[in-house]
A and B are shown apart, each in its own frame.
Chain A
Amino acid sequence: MPDEPLIRLDWIVDNLGEIGRRLGEHIVMTVIAVIIGFVISFALALLVRRYHSLAGPVLAASGVLYTVPSLALFALVSYTVLILVRNVLTGLDSVPPDVSEAAVGMGVTVSQRLWRIELPIALPVIVAGLRIATVTTIGLVTVTSLIGQGGLGYLIVTIGINQFFSTPIYVGAILSVALAIGADVALLRIQQVLTPWARSRAG
């Protein structure tokens, strides 16, 4: 049909339920992957902080995991881990040494130092990693539909490409991008609310 428009609004209106369901799947997969990845990364980072000799093996392993093409979720999680382990560690390392020294000298215990001093100070760097991981995961979830998962990739691949029909391709792509931008902005806002101190600078 040569007169076929690039985007058929009537198809969108007729399939709002389907689009919403795929968008929901996309969000759920992203959130699960990032949360699991974050928990693993966090634990690994703390382990590395405690046992410095583990730094090499952990970072190497997190890189290798990512290259293993297996279960979709596993791939998503391991990508998040790859990014976040480094960011959590960088964040914790960014705590100025005088701040840590003052904390110890004032009688702050090891765990109080971590939870009340170091992690809050590392938060902007950790959230920066979280933003990269989330945006990337949203993109990767689109691709996972190639191996039969749902999400917005389903609109693009299963309906669009397989049926030579452009509208779902556009819908899927635009929603993916919008979701990525929205998640990025939302995380940035959350970080700004949680770390009011990081914005204030002497005028």
Chain B
Amino acid sequence: MVAFDHVTKRYSGSGEPAVSELTFTIPAGEICVLVGPSGSGKTTTMKMVNRLIEPTSGRVTIDGTDVMSLPAVDLRRRIGYVIQQVGLFPHLTVAENVAVVPRLLRWKEQRIRDRVDELLDLVGLDPATYRRRYPAELSGGERQRIGVVRAMAADPAVMLMDEPFGAVDPIRRDRLQNEFLRLQAKVRKTIVFVTHDVDEAIKMADRIAILQKGGILAQYDTPDAILAQPASEFVERFVGADRGLKRLSLGRVQDVPLIDPVIVHAGEPRETARKRLEEKGEVDYALLVDERRRPLGWIDRRDLAGDGTVDPAAATPGAPTLGPESTLRDALSAMLSSSVQLGVVVDERDAVIGLVSVDRIGEVLRAPVTAAPVG
């Protein structure tokens, strides 16, 4: 747990403080993204955690211990540090770069070797291939990965990341972000992450601290809560006019109460199918499925009129199928471009779980947001 308690940083010779009276707590195992325009003191705030910058007043504590009470060098060895330009040591191999902090902590050589291989594996770089390479022999994305695992080498509980994916192209950045989130789900570090990119903040954060000029905390909350209820006009402008759409990227199909579909099978009497559809009332289409409940297409109410059996040839194919983990944004996009504006939610065996509609998504967005409790 990292806590800021009335932290102010004032540089000599400048009137306005760089950081003003910051008070907030980052629960253990969460990613807290510091975001704000330039001059909002986000990097300064981050650097006060490992004493690269020292507060003028107030306290920064890690698990209750004031960082100023520890020798700076010892403190820093216990905190992972990742910067935008990575800063790999060009004269050291990948393995030696990763081993820097464990060596400073005087780990046994065998333990260091095992740890290096474990970490390289963790980010998908084959140790046998990469161990002996020099930074100049790596691609930008590989360097970035090494920078991250180097910071994790001594298994610190707290990590500081200053625009860690800022120097790579958008496609690679997206991949590195996803990879890092998967990694974080396993390692559960307490992370202070600095960025100026709101979208990155929304994607990466468990909690976002929005800072404004002079290092004033404008809002500290979950991404969803900030997008749903911006605390001020500044926050509202900063997160952008499309904050509704941004929230869609946060929500998952599994968060939406699904509609029970009316299921019909090929060859079943139209009359019984029609009755089930009428009882349901909410949708005008029945979902035609195969014997393993996999969706085949939609049967219009009108195609169920009269006698006889359900004709599979009458089905409109192309129902968008969605996994429970699809984002609401992807779901909406698929639904808007299909003929029937319903999404079919399927499990990992492609069997139908339920339906999602545009209205249902709207209801989720309108529901009041309750902020997750801190601590």
Q: Which residues in A have some Cβ–Cβ distance to B below 8 Å?
A: 96, 98-109, 112, 117, 120-121, 123, 195-198, 200-203
A202–B133 Cα gap in the complex (Å)? 10
Nearest A residue to B100, CB-CB: A106
Nearest A residue to B87, CB-CB: A102
A103–B100 Cα gap in the complex (Å)? 9
User: Known: A202-B136, A202-B138. Is A99-B100 also a contact (CB below 8 A)?
Assistant: no
User: Known: A107-B101, A200-B137. Is A102-B81 also a contact (CB below 8 A)?
Assistant: yes
* Binary CB contact string for chain B from 76 to 88 against chain A (1 if under 8 A, 0 otherwise): 1110010111111
Q: In this assembly, does B104 line the interface, its C-beta being within 8 Å of a C-beta of chain A?
A: yes
* Contact yes or no, A105 B52, CB < 8 A: yes
Q: In this assembly, does B318 line the interface, its C-beta being within 8 Å of a C-beta of chain A?
A: no
Contacts of A120 in B (CB 8 A): 91
* Contact yes or no, A107 B77, CB < 8 A: yes
**Chain B contact residue count (CB 8 A cutoff):** 35
- Secondary structure type dominating chain A contacts: helix
A108–B87 Cα gap in the complex (Å)? 13
Q: In this assembly, does B259 line the interface, its C-beta being within 8 Å of a C-beta of chain A?
A: no
- Enumerate the 8 nearest inter-chain pairs by beta-carbon distance, A residue then B residue, closest first: A102-B87, A107-B76, A107-B77, A98-B85, A105-B81, A98-B87, A197-B134, A120-B91
Among candidates A96, A103, A108, A196, residue contacting B85 with C-beta atoms closer than 8 Å: A96
Nearest A residue to B139, CB-CB: A202
User: Known: A105-B50, A107-B73, A107-B77. Is A201-B89 also a contact (CB below 8 A)?
Assistant: no
A44–B135 Cα gap in the complex (Å)? 31
User: Known: A117-B89, A202-B137. Is A102-B83 also a contact (CB below 8 A)?
Assistant: yes
Sample of 18 A–B contacts (CB below 8 Å): A98-B87, A100-B87, A101-B87, A102-B83, A105-B76, A106-B81, A106-B151, A107-B73, A107-B75, A108-B73, A109-B73, A117-B91, A123-B91, A200-B136, A202-B136, A202-B137, A202-B138, A202-B139
**Which residues of chain B (86-107) have a CB below 8 Å from chain A?**
86-93, 100-101, 104
Distance in angstroms from B345 CB to nearest chain A CB is: 45
Nearest A residue to B74, CB-CB: A107
User: Known: A107-B74, A121-B90, A201-B136. Is A101-B83 also a contact (CB below 8 A)?
Assistant: yes
Distance in angstroms from B83 CB to nearest chain A CB is: 6
Q: Which of B73, B87, B147 has the most CB of A within 10 A?
A: B87
Distance in angstroms from A192 CB to nearest chain B CB is: 13
Contacts of B92 in A (CB 8 A): 197
A201–B138 Cα gap in the complex (Å)? 9
* Contact yes or no, B91 A108, CB < 8 A: no
* Binary CB contact string for chain B from 104 to 146 against chain A (1 if under 8 A, 0 otherwise): 1000000000000000000000000000011111110000000
User: Known: A104-B52, A105-B81, A202-B138. Is A99-B90 also a contact (CB below 8 A)?
Assistant: yes
